[in-house]
């Protein structure tokens, strides 16, 4: 007789809460929370792939009370209400499950556990194997020869042996255990003072709860008294904890047969919630949907596009509309200032041209809110038919200046750094920034694609804000910001100030409830924002003539390379054309095709050319040409155009809320990616210079991520090497190649360095072989020897992967959470990439936290005015300062001290400091 596939029963309610709390709070571009939807459906899909022949049913709790509330009115009474952002995701989950063709069971008066227990019991009577997918420990009481629990988040599998190992009790004693210990979440009282250890001890000694009650007089001490005083409460707890196995169901296990999925409905749902990977999967199968189908899905879900309505469809915002006021004169402004002073705090939002550089942007209008539902708009520089509504900008800003510069009056903003620049352009140095909703959102979920005020307001407050297109229009008809009508500006900006004010309290509560995240937000991110603003404002001097010279030199070298390429290829062609390059490399020269594009064409990507360059000259020339062309177009030609005419310096924007790991990035221009090892890259750094009478000082953390690895892994070999100030790459080479430290060759050290850094980035033996240009077998030997010598590193990596799979995120030393949405992905490549990220992210994120702490400490010191020095750049693990020649030694000493003191590790932090007239010399 053929074996029957196991029945899969999914505890949908358990999935729902686990996905919501353990995965990052994703939100669509329309503001719809989607994190729980994606998490639940991902877990169901992974089970479908693992058990393709099995019938699967998904069970959810129904709304309202159950029979347990009739037994005990206080049952689950202490549970907080379900968050609105979670509640809004339940119906979409149900719709998707139905479209997948899976049976969905929601039975009133009982819980999902009871339905699962009843179905599992039915299956057992038929000798059928059942797998219950859940994260709820209560269901361990169902485990038997035919019932096993599986946890998709932790990959834990609990059969009879597994339950015994986890609880030190057999499955039939789990209800006794739960009755004795109680459950704070469900408000099952249990016996006061009896914890897991006592419960296990009693059950192992007496055998069952009934036997414990029979022998209650033999149990001494206060705990015995509590047991005897709470016998009836214990029996009640037993009844509450027992899963019902005889729920009256209209469906039997024989009817739990999945139907054919509805691809069009799935496509419409996945499109609505912007699950791009899944929509592409359906597209590849030829699935298409019409706008009518998408509209029907949106109607079923009750979704309304804010753009299709007259305004926000949320009553709270609408009822507060009457409190949004357009200030008509300076007397009204003075009344506002008085109210703000009385409140002691306010949120501010500004209207300005965001396309203008922060050094020159001018304020067009300001909105203020000092209590929920109330806001005013101050029109200052509108150039429209209603420009008569403008108040005198200079006079108004002078009235506001004392309030804005008073640190005792707390300010709230969404991107306070940009607002600080804007006001400084009007000679106002804002002080007293107390909360930044942009940074708070980033700390709570750094992997979110967008931390716009629209998204954050919708996710945390369920309030809709109009996009700027609603104010200015779009496309060819888009108005310049200054030409918008003041009344329209009021309607657009006042709600933004209002939402910012409300978000402050909401986000602060969420941060404070998450432990270390509040400290990370307050003392790292919020404290760093004014440091970055000062650094951006200061900028760095650049020598345009040197860049012009370098550009000319690059032109010559590029011309030489082109001639060499044409000679090697035997013909001329467009080096910038992938198609023509494909023809030359693969058709004319017959080079091996190592990888193809998604369209099936031979790839000319960088990684492919790197591998080909190990054996062929032409790919090497092409790579050099590409690199030099990028330097020329991105830096030597573009940087001179980005020099500020007034300051003669470049003022880059440093983005604080972009990189998931906490690293800073820069834009306009991006100064993080200037090559450091190539001669041409170093020449570009030579163009970054100190002002006359000053020097540049570069302070760089040495091997900081390896030191963090040593601290986190506690590997004795690595810790010892750093503690003894050894050359860690030389020490690694000695261990891996089995030679004395003094006998290590330069090539061996180079390979050891590649191993050290490669492994912390999750590099495989294949990747190492490619980087070093060696045989894959030899690379694997190096890796194996490395882990033999440094077993703590391997243990750390394995432990970190396990924790990442269990929690859905990893953490830095300072508590920054780095969510890994693909750690459970069915796609092997995505899952492995997430596993590599899990290993490296704590190190890279901790390094980011450390340098941020150092920047805050150093800025605090420099703000005292003890030195004529300022921070001008931050690039990865390096800080660059401009300092008066007389203060170089004092700055060097003070910076080094504060950088090595920024974190307390079990290995020393080391900082290399250089001084020079330009960045290259200093580095």
Choose from 56-60, 381-385, 788-792 the range with maximum mean pLDDT. Answer: 56-60
Percent over 90 (pLDDT), the chain: 48
Q: Tell me, what's the pLDDT at 388?
A: 67
| Structural element, H or E, at residue 396 | helix 393-404
Residue range 627-677, pLDDT digits in tens = 899 899 999 999 999 999 999 999 999 999 998 899 999 999 998 888 877
The yes-or-no verdict on residue 23 having pLDDT over 60 is no
pLDDT band with cut points at 50, 70 and 90 for residue 321? very low
Q: Tell me, what's the pLDDT at 530?
A: 96
Q: Tell me, what's the pLDDT at 761?
A: 75
Give the residue, 567 or 153, on which the prediction is more confident: 567
Residue 492 tokens, joined: 């657009």
The yes-or-no verdict on residue 812 having pLDDT over 80 is yes
CATH number of 315-509: 3.30.420.10
The yes-or-no verdict on residue 313 having pLDDT over 80 is no
CATH superfamily name and code, 7-255: 5'-nuclease (3.40.50.1010)
The yes-or-no verdict on residue 701 having pLDDT over 90 is yes
**DSSP labels for 418-461?**
HHHHHHHTTT-----EEEEHHHHHHHH-TT-S---HHHHHHHHH
Query: How far apart are the C-alpha atoms of 525 and 436, rounded to whole Å?
Result: 9
The C-alpha torsion from 442 through 446 and 450 to 454, rounded to 10°, is: -40
Q: Tell me, what's the pLDDT at 140?
A: 93
Average pLDDT over residues 882-907: 89
pLDDT band with cut points at 50, 70 and 90 for residue 22? low
Residue range 713-740, pLDDT digits in tens = 999 988 998 888 888 888 888 888 888 8
Average pLDDT over residues 759-782: 79
**DSSP labels for 616-683?**
-HHHHHHHHHHHHHHHIIIIITTGGGGB-TTTSEE-PEEESSS-TTS--EEESS--S---SSSHHHHH
Q: Tell me, what's the pLDDT at 281?
A: 86
The yes-or-no verdict on residue 237 having pLDDT over 80 is yes
The answer to whether 254 and 122 have CB atoms below 8 angstroms apart is: no
> What are the start-end ranges of the H helices in 724-876?
728-737, 746-760, 765-772, 776-789, 791-807, 828-862
Q: Tell me, what's the pLDDT at 387?
A: 59
Query: How far apart are the C-alpha atoms of 608 and 624, rounded to whole Å?
Result: 14
Place of tokens 């780095």: 818
The yes-or-no verdict on residue 105 having pLDDT over 90 is yes
Q: Which residues contact 524 (CB under 8 A, 6 or more apart)?
A: 814, 849, 852, 853, 856
Task: Classify residue 306 by its DSSP letter.
Answer: G
Place of tokens 């099952």: 188
The answer to whether 322 and 375 have CB atoms below 8 angstroms apart is: no
Which residues in the chain are classed under CATH 3.30.420.10? 315-509
Q: Tell me, what's the pLDDT at 672?
A: 86
Give the SS3 label for residue 106.
Answer: strand
The yes-or-no verdict on residue 698 having pLDDT over 90 is yes
Tell me the CA distances in angstroms from 558 to 292, 610, 638, one per residue in order.
54, 19, 17
Q: Tell me, what's the pLDDT at 851?
A: 95
Query: How far apart are the C-alpha atoms of 180 and 189, rounded to whole Å?
Result: 9
Residue 170 tokens, joined: 């057999």
The yes-or-no verdict on residue 294 having pLDDT over 80 is no
Average pLDDT over residues 811-817: 89
Q: Which residues contact 921 (CB under 8 A, 6 or more apart)?
A: 686, 696, 914, 915
Q: Tell me, what's the pLDDT at 103?
A: 93
Average pLDDT over residues 518-526: 89
Average pLDDT over residues 818-826: 86
Q: Tell me, what's the pLDDT at 1?
A: 38
Percent over 70 (pLDDT), the chain: 95
The yes-or-no verdict on residue 424 having pLDDT over 60 is yes
Average pLDDT, the chain: 88
Average pLDDT over residues 339-361: 94
pLDDT band with cut points at 50, 70 and 90 for residue 102? very high
The yes-or-no verdict on residue 317 having pLDDT over 50 is no
Average pLDDT over residues 396-409: 95
The number of beta carbons lying within 10 Å of the beta carbon of residue 561 is: 18
- Write the secondary structure of 560-623 as one string of H (helix), E (strand) and C (coil): HHHHHHHHHHCCCCCCCCHHHHHHHHHHHCCCCCCCECCCCCECCCHHHHHHHHCCCHHHHHHH
Query: How far apart are the C-alpha atoms of 660 and 505, rounded to whole Å?
Result: 24
The answer to whether 134 and 151 have CB atoms below 8 angstroms apart is: yes
Strand partners, 701: 911
Nearest to 682 by CA among 518, 493, 459, 919: 919
Tell me the CA distances in angstroms from 361 to 107, 147, 353, 487, 490, one per residue in order.
59, 66, 7, 22, 20
Task: Classify residue 883 by its DSSP letter.
Answer: E
The C-alpha torsion from 542 through 547 and 549 to 554, rounded to 10°, is: 160
Q: Tell me, what's the pLDDT at 307?
A: 36
The answer to whether 503 and 451 have CB atoms below 8 angstroms apart is: no
Nearest to 182 by CA among 171, 170, 173, 193: 193
Query: How far apart are the C-alpha atoms of 843 and 703, rounded to whole Å?
Result: 11
Task: Classify residue 54 by its DSSP letter.
Answer: S
The number of beta carbons lying within 10 Å of the beta carbon of residue 410 is: 16
The yes-or-no verdict on residue 319 having pLDDT over 70 is no
The C-alpha torsion from 699 through 702 and 708 to 711, rounded to 10°, is: -110
Which residues in the chain are classed under CATH 3.40.50.1010? 7-255
Average pLDDT over residues 405-410: 93
Q: Tell me, what's the pLDDT at 377?
A: 96
Give the SS3 label for residue 697.
Answer: strand
Residue range 582-640, pLDDT digits in tens = 888 888 888 888 888 877 888 888 878 887 887 888 888 888 898 899 899 999 999 99
The answer to whether 711 and 905 have CB atoms below 8 angstroms apart is: yes
Query: How far apart are the C-alpha atoms of 31 and 312, rounded to whole Å?
Result: 12
Average pLDDT over residues 194-217: 91
Lowest mean pLDDT of 165-174, 308-317, 373-382, 799-808, name the range.
Answer: 308-317
Question: Would you mind telling me the total number of residues written for the chain in this entry?
Answer: 923
Lowest mean pLDDT of 371-385, 431-445, 463-477, 790-804, name the range.
Answer: 463-477
Q: Which residues contact 246 (CB under 8 A, 6 or more apart)?
A: 118, 121
Plot region of 775 (φ>0 → left; ψ -120 to 50 → alpha; else → beta): beta
The yes-or-no verdict on residue 314 having pLDDT over 50 is no
The yes-or-no verdict on residue 414 having pLDDT over 50 is yes
Residue 266 tokens, joined: 């799935």
pLDDT band with cut points at 50, 70 and 90 for residue 21? low
pLDDT band with cut points at 50, 70 and 90 for residue 467? confident
């Amino acid at each position: 007789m053929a074996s029957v596939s196991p029945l899969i029963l999914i505890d949908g309610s358990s999935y729902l809460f686990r996905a919501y709390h353990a995965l990052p709070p994703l939100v669509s571009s329309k503001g719809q929370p989607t994190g729980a939807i994606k998490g639940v459906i991902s877990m169901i899909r992974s089970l479908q792939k693992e058990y393709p022949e099995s019938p699967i049913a998904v069970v959810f709790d129904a709304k309202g009370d159950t029979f347990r509330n009739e037994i005990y009115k206080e049952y689950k009474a202490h549970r907080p209400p379900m968050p609105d952002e979670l509640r809004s995701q339940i119906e979409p989950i149900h719709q998707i499950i139905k479209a997948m063709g899976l049976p969905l069971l929601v039975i009133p008066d009982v819980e999902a556990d009871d339905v699962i227990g009843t179905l599992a019991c039915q299956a057992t009577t038929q000798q059928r194997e059942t797998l219950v997918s859940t994260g709820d420990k209560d269901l361990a009481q169902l485990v038997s020869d035919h019932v096993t629990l599986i946890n998709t988040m932790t990959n834990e599998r609990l059969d009879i042996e597994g339950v015994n190992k986890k609880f030190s009790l057999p499955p039939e004693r789990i209800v006794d255990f739960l009755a004795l210990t109680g459950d704070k979440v469900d408000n099952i009282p249990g016996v006061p003072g009896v914890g897991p250890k006592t419960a296990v001890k009693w059950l192992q000694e007496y055998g069952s709860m009934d036997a414990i009650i029979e022998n209650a007089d033999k149990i001494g001490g206060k705990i015995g008294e509590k047991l005897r005083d709470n016998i009836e409460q214990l029996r009640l707890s037993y009844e509450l904890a027992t899963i019902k196995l005889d729920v009256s169901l209209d469906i039997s296990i024989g009817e739990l047969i999945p139907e054919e999925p509805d691809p069009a409905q799935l496509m419409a749902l996945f499109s609505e919630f912007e699950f791009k990977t899944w929509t592409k999967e359906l597209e590849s199968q030829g699935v298409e949907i019409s706008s009518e189908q998408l509209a029907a899905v949106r109607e079923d879900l009750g979704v309304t596009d804010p753009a299709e309505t007259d305004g926000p469809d949320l009553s709270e915002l609408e009822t507060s509309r009457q409190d949004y006021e357009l200030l008509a004169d300076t007397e009204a402004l003075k009344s506002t200032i008085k109210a703000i002073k009385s409140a002691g705090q306010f949120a501010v939002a500004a209207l300005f041209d965001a396309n203008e550089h922060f050094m020159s942007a001018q304020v067009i209008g300001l909105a203020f809110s000092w209590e929920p539902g109330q806001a005013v708009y101050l029109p200052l520089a509108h150039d429209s038919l209603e420009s008569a509504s403008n108040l005198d900008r200079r006079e108004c800003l002078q009235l506001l200046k004392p309030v804005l510069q008073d640190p005792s009056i707390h300010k709230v903003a969404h991107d306070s750094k940009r607002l600080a620049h804007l006001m400084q352009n009007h000679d106002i140095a804002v002080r007293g920034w107390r909360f930044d909703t942009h940074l708070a959102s980033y700390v709570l979920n750094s992997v979110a694609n967008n931390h716009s005020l629209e998204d954050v307001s919708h996710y945390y407050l369920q309030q809709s804000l109009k996009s700027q297109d609603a104010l200015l229009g779009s496309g060819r008809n888009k108005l310049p910001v200054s030409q918008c009508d003041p009344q329209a500006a009021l309607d657009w900006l006042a709600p933004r100030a209002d939402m910012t004010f409300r978000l402050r309290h909401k986000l602060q509560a969420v941060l404070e409830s998450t432990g270390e995240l509040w400290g990370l937000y307050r003392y790292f991110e919020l404290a760093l924002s004014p440091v970055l603003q000062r650094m951006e404002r200061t900028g760095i001097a650049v020598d345009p003539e040197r860049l012009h010279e370098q550009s000319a030199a690059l032109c010559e070298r590029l011309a030489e390379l082109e001639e060499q390429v044409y000679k090697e290829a035997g013909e001329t062609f467009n080096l910038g054309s992938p198609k023509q390059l494909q023809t030359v490399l693969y058709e004319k020269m017959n080079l091996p095709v190592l990888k193809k594009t998604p369209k099936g064409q031979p790839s000319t990507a960088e990684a492919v050319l790197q591998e080909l360059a190990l054996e062929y000259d032409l790919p090497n020339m092409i790579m050099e040409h590409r690199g030099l062309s990028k330097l020329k177009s991105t830096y030597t030609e573009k940087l001179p155009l980005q020099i500020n005419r007034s300051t003669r310096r470049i003022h880059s924007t440093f983005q604080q809320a972009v990189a998931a790991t906490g690293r800073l990035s820069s834009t306009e221009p991006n100064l993080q990616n200037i090559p450091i090892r190539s001669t041409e890259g170093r020449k570009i750094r030579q163009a970054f210079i100190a002002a006359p009478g000053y020097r540049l000082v570069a302070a760089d953390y040495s091997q900081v991520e390896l030191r963090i690895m040593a601290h986190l892994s506690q590997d004795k070999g690595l810790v010892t090497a750093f503690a003894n100030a050894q050359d860690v790459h030389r020490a690694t080479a000695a261990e891996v190649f089995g030679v004395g430290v003094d006998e290590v060759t330069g090539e061996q050290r180079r390979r050891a360095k590649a191993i050290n850094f490669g492994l912390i980035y999750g590099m495989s033996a294949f990747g190492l072989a490619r980087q070093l240009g060696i045989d894959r077998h030899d690379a694997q030997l190096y890796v194996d020897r490395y882990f033999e010598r440094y077993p703590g590193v391997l243990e750390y990596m394995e432990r970190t992967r396990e924790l990442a799979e269990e929690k859905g995120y990893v953490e830095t030393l300072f508590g920054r959470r780095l969510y890994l949405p693909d750690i459970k992905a069915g796609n092997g490549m995505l899952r492995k990439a997430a596993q590599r990220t899990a290993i490296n992210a704590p190190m890279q994120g901790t390094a980011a936290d450390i340098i941020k702490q150092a920047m805050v400490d150093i800025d605090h010191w420099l703000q005292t005015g003890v030195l004529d020095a300022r921070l001008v750049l931050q690039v990865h693990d390096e800080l660059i300062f401009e300092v008066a020649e007389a203060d170089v030694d004092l700055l060097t000493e003070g910076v080094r001290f504060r950088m090595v003191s920024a974190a307390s590790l079990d290995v020393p932090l080391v900082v290399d400091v250089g001084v020079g007239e330009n960045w290259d010399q200093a580095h």
